[in-house]
């Protein structure tokens, strides 16, 4: 890949983030801006065991560098953060270049070499979208071919021993009946077992998982943001997919973040235009999947990491997004259910049914139209992080018990409610907490799914307490609670929630750290009712630079401590060692809001 092909977008600076893959991808569409950014890129390529694995042995393996020494010098220059000018001065020393046999005579030549490192998951392309009524207005999408990305995952030798090529059914005990099924990995699910019969005999299904992240726009330096789309495949076990270092999630697109020009558009038109931009962009990005997955005419021969050639049918099976984006993806009106399209007023109804007659944002052609064997509503998965953070956040983050089990949280929560709400309130909360705990089981059978139904029934029977108290009236019918109804079926259809929760993708952004800092406490009972710990709505100091915080609070250890804290917030498999966390050059943000105090109300002082 050469730099010439790439249009450089408005965003010009890249702040290195903790995620090296992301930085690598950003480089591709932005060009190398600084040696610092490059440092991470080279670090990634040279230290990535997978890249090394895919390289052939011998001299060739240093291509595009001329020799081992050639790239080791580049690696040294980059990881030691040698300035371009200093490197040029070294290379200008007579005979240095010749004696070392270097292929580049200055830092520019070296950068060019790095640029020529072959791409793992296909070339980046640029697509300009515009609309008939405003031909002058363009929306830029950077993307690469999803089929190429799948091929790369499929053929990666590092995944060879992990890939699963056919579905199956797991049973507990000897009796192989539906009532004895166990649901866990993608290959045990209803989806894969069903579509396997819909493709030609001998074909291999590749369940495609797409995730996009609009609401938590990735924050780069300043107010720059990006709208990433990721792809991974259900053939890989969930543990592999969840591990950022395994590089099983491929960034396949950056969608436009530009807002459409309001001129001449009504409020409704403007909203529709936003939908159109998203769907047109995604239709363009995912177009290759449509023909590749077609059971009649599709099927792509792919070489697996095991060396075998298979005819692979990539089928879109899961779309991971938070609630607002689920609405966008399914063309469902905000406030209704993206799975069953139930109207906002009916979300409390305790029955699951498809009802497509109401409240659908119409008038646009959704990207998933004509996707083979895909029902986009079935693709929507419970978003355990967002749907249930309501309960997790306020408690977990501020009492510093992040990472502990829900049992632990439940204990704190229930204890803190005792004496404040009546028996029904306690029972309702307990049921909900049990449900959340059960929903995170890594495998389920009819019994455990039955327990989820039971807890949900108890919650619905007792939730009226909160309505009567007029504390959470608005929250009872919200889609969050309604969506709990879909968990059991979704687990049977797509696998347990640990297959597809958004945490796996959010991890790319370190947004959790941000939220831990600026999310106001969400009380489970009511916004009027004081919880244990409260902070002011507005920070005492906004957007204070990290260095300024360290200086003004006389806390030289603040930034290292913050790095360790952020690292500790990551799920276990995403964490790095203490030394690695401390060695990270830059955090993905430079400013923080500061609160000088919080209020703590002991239980006994509450009325």
Residues that bind Zn ion (CB under 5 A): 337, 339-340, 342
The DSSP bridge pattern shows strands 225-233 and 250-255 to be antiparallel
Contact 325, 352 (CB under 8 A): no
DSSP secondary structure letter of residue 215: T
What is residue 126's three-state secondary structure? strand
Task: Quote the tokens at residue 232.
Answer: 């991974």
Q: Which is nearer to Zn ion, 24 or 497 (CB)?
A: 497
> Min. distance of Cβ 512 from Zn ion in angstroms?
27
User: What is the distance between the alpha carbons of residues 595 and 542, in angstroms, rounded to a whole number?
Assistant: 9
CB of 281 or CB of 332, closer to Zn ion = 332
Residue closer to Zn ion (CB basis): 335 or 571: 335
CA distances from 127 to 95, 150, 250, 273, 470 (A): 46, 21, 19, 17, 50
Q: How far is the CB of 471 from Zn ion (least distance, A)?
A: 24
Please identify, using beta-carbon distances, which residue of 97 and 332 lies nearer to Zn ion. Answer: 332
Which whole-number Å values give the CA distances from 437 to 69, 408, 409, 432, in the listed order? 54, 11, 10, 9
Cα–Cα distance, 480 to 474 (Å, whole number): 11
Give the C-alpha separation, 176 to 85, whole Å: 70
Q: Environment class of residue 142 by beta-carbon count within 10 Å: exposed (0-12), middle (13-18) or buried (19+)?
A: buried
Q: Nearest-CA neighbor of 77 among 120, 23, 114?
A: 114
Q: What is the CA radius of gyration of the chain?
A: 26
* Choice between 137 and 346, CB closer to Zn ion: 346
The nearest distance, CB 347 to Zn ion, in angstroms, is 7
**Residue 557 DSSP label:** T
How far is C-alpha 50 from the geometric centre of its chain's CA atoms?
A: 22
CB of 114 to Zn ion, least distance (A): 49
Min dist. Cβ of residue 486 to Zn ion (A)? 6
CB of 344 to Zn ion, least distance (A): 11
Neighbouring C-beta atoms of residue 209, cutoff 10 Å: 25
Question: Least CB distance from residue 495 to Zn ion, whole Å?
Answer: 19
Backbone angles phi, psi at 423, to 5 degrees: -55, -40
Q: Write the DSSP symbol of residue 304.
A: -
- Nearest residue (CB) to Zn ion, 344 versus 521: 344
Shortest distance (Å) from residue 340 CB to Zn ion: 3
The smaller minimum CB distance to Zn ion, of residues 6 and 485, is found at 485
How far apart are alpha carbons 307 and 157 in whole angstroms? 9
Contact 227, 214 (CB under 8 A): yes
CB 485 within 8 A of CB 329: no
Phi-psi sector, 341: left (phi>0), alpha (psi -120 to 50), beta: left
In whole angstroms, the minimum distance from the beta carbon of 338 to Zn ion comes to 8
Name the token pair of 154. Answer: 């499929």
**Can you state the angle between helices 146-155 and 267-292, rounded to 10 degrees?**
40
CB nearer to Zn ion: pick between 340 and 426 = 340
Tell the smallest beta-carbon distance from residue 216 to Zn ion (Å).
Answer: 23
- Give dist(CA 388, CA 433) in Å, integer: 9
CB of 454 to Zn ion, least distance (A): 20
- DSSP assignment string, 31-48: ----HHHHHHHHHHHHH-
Nearer to Zn ion, 337 or 566 (CB): 337
Residue 81 CA, distance from chain mean position: 30
Query: Toward Zn ion, which CB reaches closer, 88 or 453?
Result: 453
Q: How far is the CB of 359 from Zn ion (least distance, A)?
A: 12
97: which residues sit within 8 A by CB, 6+ positions away? 91, 104, 105
The residue at minimum Cβ distance from Zn ion is 337
Cβ nearer to Zn ion, comparing 64 with 335: 335
Closer Cβ to Zn ion, 190 or 382, answer by number: 382
Helices (H), 228-266: 238-242
Least gap, CB of 351 to Zn ion (angstroms): 10
Identity of the residue, 285 or 340, whose beta carbon is nearer to Zn ion in the bound complex: 340
């Amino acid at each position: 890949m050469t730099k010439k092909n790439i249009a450089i977008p408005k965003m010009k600076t890249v702040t290195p983030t903790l995620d090296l893959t992301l930085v690598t991808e950003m480089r591709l569409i932005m060009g190398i801006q600084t040696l610092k950014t490059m440092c991470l890129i080279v670090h990634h390529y040279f230290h990535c065991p997978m890249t090394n694995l895919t390289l052939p042995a011998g001299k060739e393996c240093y291509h595009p560098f001329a020799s081992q020494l050639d790239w080791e010098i580049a690696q040294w220059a980059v990881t030691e953060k040698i300035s371009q000018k200093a490197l040029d001065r070294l290379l200008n020393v007579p005979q240095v270049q010749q004696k070392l046999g270097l292929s580049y005579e200055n830092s520019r030549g070296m950068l060019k070499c790095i640029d020529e490192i072959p791409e793992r998951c296909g070339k980046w392309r640029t697509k300009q979208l515009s609309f008939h009524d405003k031909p002058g207005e363009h929306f830029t999408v950077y993307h690469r071919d999803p089929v190429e990305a799948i091929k790369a995952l499929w053929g990666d030798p590092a995944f060879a021993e992990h890939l699963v090529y056919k579905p199956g059914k797991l049973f507990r005990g000897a009796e192989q009946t539906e009532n004895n099924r166990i649901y866990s990995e993608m290959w045990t699910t209803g989806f894969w077992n069903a579509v396997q019969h819909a493709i030609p005999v001998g074909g291999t299904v590749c369940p495609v998982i797409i995730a996009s992240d609009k609401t938590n726009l990735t924050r780069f330096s300043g107010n720059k943001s990006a709208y990433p789309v990721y792809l991974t495949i259900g053939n890989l076990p969930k543990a592999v997919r969840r591990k950022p270092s395994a590089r099983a999630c491929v960034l396949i697109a950056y969608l436009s973040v530009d807002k459409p020009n309001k001129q001449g558009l009504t409020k409704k038109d403007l909203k529709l235009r936003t939908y159109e931009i998203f769907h047109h962009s995604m239709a363009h990005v995912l177009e290759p999947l449509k023909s590749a997955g077609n059971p009649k005419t599709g099927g792509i021969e792919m070489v697996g990491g095991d060396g075998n050639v298979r005819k692979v049918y990539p089928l879109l099976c899961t779309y991971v997004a938070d609630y607002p984006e689920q609405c966008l993806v399914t063309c469902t009106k905000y406030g209704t259910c993206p799975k069953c399209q139930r109207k906002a007023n009916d979300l409390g109804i305790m029955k699951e049914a498809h009802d497509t007659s109401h409240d659908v944002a119409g008038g646009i052609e959704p990207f998933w139209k004509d996707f083979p064997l895909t029902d986009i509503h079935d693709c929507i998965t419970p978003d355990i992080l967002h749907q249930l953070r309501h309960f997790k956040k306020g408690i977990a983050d501020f009492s510093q018990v992040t990472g502990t089990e829900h049992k632990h949280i439940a204990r704190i929560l229930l204890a803190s409610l005792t004496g404040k709400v009546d028996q029904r309130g306690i029972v309702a909360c307990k049921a909900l907490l049990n449900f959340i705990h059960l929903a995170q089981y890594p495998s389920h059978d009819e019994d455990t799914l039955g327990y989820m139904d039971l807890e949900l029934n108890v919650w619905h029977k007792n939730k009226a307490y909160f309505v009567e108290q007029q504390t959470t009236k608005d929250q009872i019918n919200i889609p969050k609670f309604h969506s709990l109804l879909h968990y059991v079926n979704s687990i049977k259809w797509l696998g347990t929630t640990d297959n597809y929760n958004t945490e796996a993708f959010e991890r790319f952004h370190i947004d959790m750290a941000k939220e831990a800092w600026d999310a106001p406490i969400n009380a489970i009972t009511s916004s009027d009712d004081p919880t244990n710990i409260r902070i002011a709505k507005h920070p005492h100091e906004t957007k204070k630079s990290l260095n300024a915080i360290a200086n003004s609070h006389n806390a030289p250890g603040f930034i290292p401590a913050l790095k360790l804290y952020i690292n500790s917030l990551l799920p276990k498999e995403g964490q790095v060692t203490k030394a690695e966390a401390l060695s990270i050059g830059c955090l993905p943000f430079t400013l923080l809001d500061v609160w000088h105090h919080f209020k703590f109300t002991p239980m006994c002082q509450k009325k």
